[in-house]
Structure 1
Amino acid sequence: MNVLIALLPAIGWGIQPLILRKIGGKPSNEIFGTGIGALIAGIVATALFSPHFVAANVFILSLLSGLFWVMGQTGQYHAFGLIGVSKTMPISTGFQLVGTSLIGVILFGEWPGNLNKIIGFLAILLLIIGVLLTSVSDSTQNRSETKRGIFVLAATSLGYWVYSALPKAVSASGLSIFLPQMLGVFIGAVLYACINNKRVFQEKKSWKAVIVGLIFGLSALAYIFSAQKNGVATAYIITQLNVVISTIGGIVILKESKSGQALKKTIFGLLLIVIGSVITVLI
């Protein structure tokens, strides 16, 4: 049962971009639906599990982390349109892991001792190599689009870093901060969507994307329970399967083309990203 709980976030976050691309729409439609679904998941989880209320400062920091998540997620959604899911997900995951690892070392004193730091930075090197391999393009035109996609992801990954870092700065359970985080996601998503598309409320694809927000929220909730049952390290490592699911799904289900050579480099790059992420957790 514990293994099943651990797999749920990986599966949910892995299929999330595949469903989103099948629905279609602009990034404003996608992030709007995601925000609505995330808030619904937060309200339902709070009603079911009745977590303790948090102090005002914890609530605000949790809300801010959700707002910053929207920054990272809109970057992903824009990149899907530029370079597809099978390229976006491993590149985005690599940026997230590198950033959150460095923040953990610098701000929270993780990887204590010189040996751990050496191993950690070697793991980051593996992540960077993995990202470079998955970004290999088949043509000059694709290379130009890849550069644009990488720039978008690099510029917006700060949102994911802050989203991951802020909860570490407070002393509260994952369930207690879940609703304010999802509320932050909702506020950020609706503000972004309304600013960029005044018709977002009227477009069907906005409301179809609610399912993606529900999947995100429920997967995040499952991760909280997995961390409680399996330990944070094990839970986090298993969630990294999401990038494998989404990347292979992009190629197989969404029919995103990859030549034989590019496909081999992508698979090897994925392997390096997963290995690097595992090392950063275990040291």
Structure 2
Amino acid sequence: MQGILFALVPMVAWGSIGFVSNKIGGRPNQQTFGMTVGALLFASVVWSLVRPEMSTDLWIFGIIGGMLWSMGQYGQFQAMQYMGVSVANPLSSGAQLVFGSLIGAIAFGEWTKSIQFFLGFIALSLLVIGFYFTSKQDSDTRTVENRSDFKKGFSALTYSTIGYLSYAILFNNIMHFDALAVILPMAVGMVLGAMLSMKFHIRLEVVVLKNALVGIMWGIGNIFMLLAAAKAGLAIAFSFSQLGVIISIIGGILFLGETKTAKEKRWLSIGIACFVIGAVLLGIVKSS
């Protein structure tokens, strides 16, 4: 029971990042920079308490991974402004799950049993269906401007997914570091990546400082993800963390005023159900 409660924290913390940051406001580069400043503050506190052993490799690859993550987050914030949080977040999470799982299975041999391929295929199929329904728009209300914004949103999601996947592959498949040790070098890389997106025209404006709260939320989610995996196992921790898309969708509609037609609400419900079942199945595959 304790492990499940721990797993709820990253679900809520990570799922709330999109609508909380967009409620605070700011341009995508300001949101990213503010978030990374908060993450660096959180990582510094964790490092001072834990005092893990550090190495040159840890710093080098941690910083590289953080810069890749920053690229992914910047693209996601851009996509949210074009498509809305309730659409961009599930699409981003779904893309990461689908392509990340395929790369892990094909390139790194993570799936070795027939049951993993069977459940994995079903899970990925459900995620693709979820992709379709969460991004589906009512043709009666679609305008030329909406179509243009969606194209820009998909473009932003493309390089966002590349950044996120590169970061995940680096830490999960190539380099294996203790999460509490790598969090500080990664946070440094995150800030550098965000500064790069701002072309190093750094201004600590109020909206940037407010977005630091989002970075602290991200850090808290990371810590509780580790606790959940230790208490309840990777399957529970992974599955629950991915269900944060539900929080994003609900938050976007309730707190940001993103409107949906009756048809779009039905399609969104189908998409959510597919994401939930697909994520849970992938969690089972990872633990098999």
Shorter-chain TM range is: over 0.9
Which of residues 255, 259, 262 is equivalent to 1:260?
A: 262
Paired position in structure 2 for 1:154: 158
Aligned residues: 279
* The one of 210, 215, 222 aligned to 1:208: 210
Matches within 5 A, 1:1-283: 1-53=2-54, 55-138=55-138, 139-141=141-143, 142-168=146-172, 169-195=174-200, 198=201, 200-283=202-285
Change (3 A) 1:35 1:175: same
CA shift digits 1:170-208 (9 cap, x unpaired): 23322122212222112111221244xx3x415321111
Q: Take 1:193 and 1:107, find their aligned partners in 2: how far apart are those partners?
A: 34
Kept after mapping to 1: 8 A contact 2:3/2:227: no
Aligned partners of 1:93 and 1:151: how far apart in 2? 15
Bigger Cα displacement from structure 2, 241-250 vs 162-171: 162-171
SS at match of 1:140: coil
Which structure 2 segments of 5+ residues have no match? Answer: none
Residue 198 of structure 2 aligns to a residue in which SS?
A: helix
Find runs of 4+ consecutive structure 1 residues off by over 6 angstroms: none
RMSD over aligned Cα atoms: 1.7
Alpha-carbon contact 1:65-1:167 (below 8 Å) kept: yes
Q: Unpaired runs of 5+ in structure 1?
A: none
User: How many angstroms does 1:43 deviate by?
Assistant: 0.6
Separation in 1, partners of 2:223, 2:64: 18
Query: Please, what TM-score do these two structures have when normalized by structure 2?
Result: 0.91
1:133 aligns to what SS in structure 2?
Answer: helix
Relative distance call for 1:63 and 1:106 in structure 2 (3 A) is: farther
* Seq. identity, %: 36
**Contact 2:4/2:236 (8 A) holds in 1:** no
Q: How many Å apart are 1:90 and its aligned residue? A: 0.6
CA shift in 2, pair 1:183/1:225, >3 Å: farther
